[in-house]
Structure 1
Amino acid sequence: MTDTEKTTSHAAADAPAPAGTGLDARLVVERGAFRLDVALTAAPGDVVALLGPNGAGKTTALRALAGLVPLTGGHLRLDGAELERTPPESRPVGVVFQDYLLFPHLTALDNVAFGPRCQGATKAEARAQAAVLLDRMGLAAHASAKPRRLSGGQAQRVALARALATQPRLLLLDEPLAALDARTRLDVRAQLRRHLAGFEAVAVLVTHDPLDAMVLADHLVVVENGHVVQEGTPADIARHPRTDYIAHLVGLNLYRGQAEGHAVQVDDGTAITTTEELTGPVFVAFPPSAVTLHRERPAGSSARNLWRCEVAGLETHGDQIRAALTGELPLAADLTTVAAAELELRPGGTVWATVKAAQTHAYPA
C-alpha cells in the first residue's frame, strides 16, 4: 500500500468518532545529525500551524503524526489512545498532501469514496457519502471528472474531501495552498478556513506562508533546527517575535538588548529609545514602514532615534521599495517608488534613518 493509500484510509468504525481529548504529542525523531524534538497539544476543534524555515523539521513532524516516520522517542496520544505503534492505515488520521496526490485513474467522486470503501462501506454507501462531501465543497458538478480535468483549486478541495471522508480525529495539511496561483490561493484560503472552522477534531497545518498561518490557524508553533522556538496565537507571534526568522516572517525589524528605562542598548552597542520603560533583557521591534530616510542628517527632527546607514540593497516589496540598510543599525525600510527616486537611493549610498519612539515596541526577552 502506498503512503497516499495508507494515510487516506484507516480502520476506524463506520460510525462518527466520539469527541475526545485531542492531541497530546512529543515527537522525537533522530535522523543522522538531525534531531526533531517538538511538543504539540491541541483540543478538538483547534487548528495548529507549524511554521519554520526549510529543514526545520515541520514535514518530519507531520509525517511522524501520520505514522510515515517512526518516533525514536516521546509519545503520541490522540483522544487518549496511544498511536506510536499503530500503523498508518489504522490511525484515525486524514492527510492533504502538498501536491494533493489524487488517484489519477479515479473520478473525483471515487477519490473521495476511497476511504469509506476501505472502512467497509459498500460502493453505493461510499459514493453517497462522497457525493455529500463534494456538494459541501461546491464540487457536485465535477463529481465525474478525473484529476487531470480539475483546476488546482478544485483538486485541493477534492483532496480535502477525501481526507474528511474517513471522519478523521486528526487532519494533517502539508502546504495545502502551495501549488495554487495567487488569485486561486486567495479564494481557496477563504474556503479552507470555512471548512476548518466546522471541523470538530484537531487539524495541524504545515506552511511557509505567514498569511496562510495567520488566517487558518488558532495557534502557531514555530520550529527552527528541530525545536520549538516560539508558540502562541497569531496576534501574539506577530507582535512579539523572538527570533530573526519570525521577525522576517511577520515583517518587523527585531533587536535584542539591555533596557534601562526608555533606553535600550542593543547587542552591537547602538541605542534605541522606546516608549516602554523596562529594565533587563528585552526585544525591540518596529516595522519597516516606521523608518523614514533622509539624504542629509535631519535638523530639528522629532524622532528620538537617528542612525547613519548605508544602502546595501533595494527590492520591490508589494507596491513599495524595501531598502536593506547596514551601518549604525542594520534595518529594513519601506518607501514609495517616488520617495526612493527623490532620495536617489542606490547600493552603497549613505542615508540617515529615523524612527519615532512611539513606533517602536519593547518587551521582555
Structure 2
Amino acid sequence: MRLSDFIVQHVDRIVDEWEKFAATLTPAADSMNSVELRDHAKAILLAAARDMNTAQTKSEQIAKSQGEEIGKTPTLDQAAASHGELRHTVGFDLVQMTSEFRHLRATVIRFWVESLTSPEIAYFTDMIRFNEAIDEALAESTAAYAERVTRSRDIFLAILGHDLRAPLQAIGMSSEILMRKTTINDADMAYIKAIKSSGRHMATMVGDLLEFVRSRLGSSLPVERKPMEMTVACREAIDAAIAGHPDCDPTFTSQGETQGEWDRARIDQLLQNLIGNALQHGASPHTISVTLTGSEHHISLSVHNEGEPIAQEAIGSIFDPMVRALNEEAGTHNPSTSLGLGLFIVKEVVNAHGGSITVTSNVGDGTTFTVVLPKRGEAPRSTQSL
C-alpha cells in the first residue's frame, strides 16, 4: 500500500500514538485532556497525505527543500502553525514541541514498514514526499511557536517598563526634595546627587526599552512637531550630561538658523543617547564635541568623540537593537549602563522626523555621528551607516 493511502486508513491509530507520546511531555501535558493532546495531529497527517498525492516537478522538489514558497501546502502550513501557537500557549517548550514531529515521523514509518510485504521502487518516492511534508510542518510550527515567544517577551518587557516608571519618578522627586533642604552636609548631598543621577540613568533605559518594545509590536514611533529651537535643546542636553558626569566638559558650537518644527521629547531622547554614547565610549570626557549647523531647510547635528574606533564589521549593525559592539572591552571611559538600545532609539527618532543619520569611525579621526533633520515635515528618508 502506498504511504499516503496508509496514512489515511490508519490516521486514528497514528494519532493515538501521538497522544500517548504527547502525554509524556510534562509538566504541560499533566493538565491537558485528550483533545488538547491530539491537537492538530490528524489535520497535519491528512494534509501531508494530500500533498504526497500532488504531482511535483524536480524544480518544485528542490524549491521546497530550500524552504521556498513554491510547492508548499497551505492546509498543512495552517494546521502546523496553529499547532505551534497552541503548544506555546499550554506551556510546551520548543524541544518538546519539535519532539512530537520526530515521534510522528518515526511512528508513521514504523507502522507502514510493518504492513509491507515486499518493497517497491515507488515506496522510496513516498518516503521522500512524506519527509518533505513533515519537515514543512515542523518548520511552520516552529516559526509560529517562535513568533509567540517573541511577542510574549515583548509584552512582558512593555509591562515591566511601564510599571518601573512610577517608582523611578518617586526616586527622582524624593531626591529633588531632599536637595532643597538647607541642613544637608556635603557628604549627604553627594549621596543624594548620586541617587538622582542613577534614577535619571534608569529612567532613560526604561524609556529606551519601551520605545524598542513599541517598535517590535508594530507601532511606529509617534512624533508631534512643534516649533522649537534646536540650539536650546542641545545646550540643555549637554547640561544634563554634565550633571550626571561632573568631569565632563564637552564643547558645543552652533551656527546658522536652528529654529524648526520637531518633537521636543523625541529630540531630547536623540540628544541624550548620542551624547551619552560619546561619553560612554570616548577616550576622555574632554574630547566630546557637539556641532550644530542650520541651513534654509535642514539642520545638521554632529557628535564626535576620540578613542577606539568602531570595528568595521560592527558598522553595519550599529543601529540594530540589543547590539553593543562599540569595543566595550577596549578601556572606555565609563562603565556601561546601556541595554544596547540607545542608537536604535536614535535611528527611530531620526526616521520618524524624515531625517538621516551617518557614522564615520577610524583611528585618526575618532567617531562622529551626524544627523540631518528637515526643519519641516517631509517624507521619511532612509537611515544610513557609512
Tell me the TM-score normalized by structure 2.
Answer: 0.29
Larger radius of gyration: 2
Q: Which has the higher contact order (CA 8 A, sep 6+)?
A: 1
More helix by share: 2
